[in-house]
């Protein structure tokens, strides 16, 4: 519907985009841009209708906004730095996603992603990082801060997926070459409708490091099953505060 590309020092406020045929909004190659009170509406089953796609941009803010669509509420592409997402309501949709990354060897590093005071309702993910296996890119994703988040009946509230392979149509023979480091997950509460509240599935060739998780209080939407848990692969996070469910109860 709308492209805000190659902008500097701009504020985009009180805009509504409805029922886009594809991505609702692009913000590419821009610097110091703020989206304020931005509203996006589309059916939850609308295909490839990312709310705001941000890439190759720096100092972008998305504040006090409501995004409901059929794909990622906000998708984050390569060479994004210093992105602040605060007070955003997401749902329906696929959550707030970094990636997918890895398919293009020219992709560049991502750093400084802050998602704070956001609420996810009925989404298929909460906050997510996704990278492709058996792919050429070797970039680094660092400085991810997911704090003060509420999950209402969300599938996969917190996910790092370095074996991202939708529809199982890709080669998983080689692990992702993307390094994920400096990750903070803090004060996440609410309800999950999947039995794995947090999934940290990192690369066998470049394990995640400097990961810190604190104050997690997630419940299963139904009576809690015995196997309501978290999963960790190729990561050893530092854990503080409340752990509900226990962090890294299942490891690989």
Residues with a known catalytic role: 94
* 42: its two tokens: 């589309």
Is residue 220 classed as helix, strand or coil in its secondary structure?
A: strand
Nearest-angstrom CA–CA distance, 31 and 28: 9
Query: Which helix (H) or strand (E) is 71 found in, with range?
Result: none
Nearest-angstrom CA–CA distance, 175 and 219: 32
Cis, peptide link before residue 99, omega less than 30° from 0: no
3-state SS string for 147-206: EEEEEEEECCCEEEECCCCHHHCCCCCCCCCCEEEEEEEEEEEEEECCCEEEEEECCCCC
């Amino acid at each position: 519907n709308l492209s805000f590309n190659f902008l500097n020092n701009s504020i985009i406020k009180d805009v509504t985009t409805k029922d886009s045929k594809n991505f609702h909004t692009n913000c590419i190659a821009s610097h110091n841009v703020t989206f304020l009170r931005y509203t996006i509406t589309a059916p939850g089953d609308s295909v490839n209708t990312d709310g705001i796609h941000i890439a190759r941009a720096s100092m972008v803010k998305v504040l006090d906004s409501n995004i409901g669509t059929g794909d990622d509420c906000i998708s984050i592409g390569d060479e994004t730095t210093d992105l602040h997402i605060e007070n955003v309501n997401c749902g329906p949709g696929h959550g707030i996603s970094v990636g997918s990354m890895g398919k293009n060897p020219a992709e560049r590093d991502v750093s400084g992603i802050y998602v704070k005071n956001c609420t996810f309702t009925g989404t298929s993910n909460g906050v997510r990082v996704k990278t492709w296996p058996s792919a050429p890119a070797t970039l680094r994703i660092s400085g991810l801060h997911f704090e003060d988040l509420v999950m209402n009946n969300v599938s996969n509230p917190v996910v790092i997926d370095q074996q991202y392979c939708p529809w199982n149509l890709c080669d998983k023979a080689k692990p992702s070459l993307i390094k994920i480091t400096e990750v903070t997950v803090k004060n996440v509460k609410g309800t999950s409708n999947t039995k794995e509240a947090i999934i940290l599935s990192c690369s066998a060739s470049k394990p995640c490091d400097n990961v810190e998780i604190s104050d997690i209080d997630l419940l299963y939407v139904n009576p809690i099953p015995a196997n309501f848990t978290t999963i960790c692969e190729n990561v050893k996070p530092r854990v503080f505060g409340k752990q509900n469910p226990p962090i890294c109860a299942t490891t690989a």
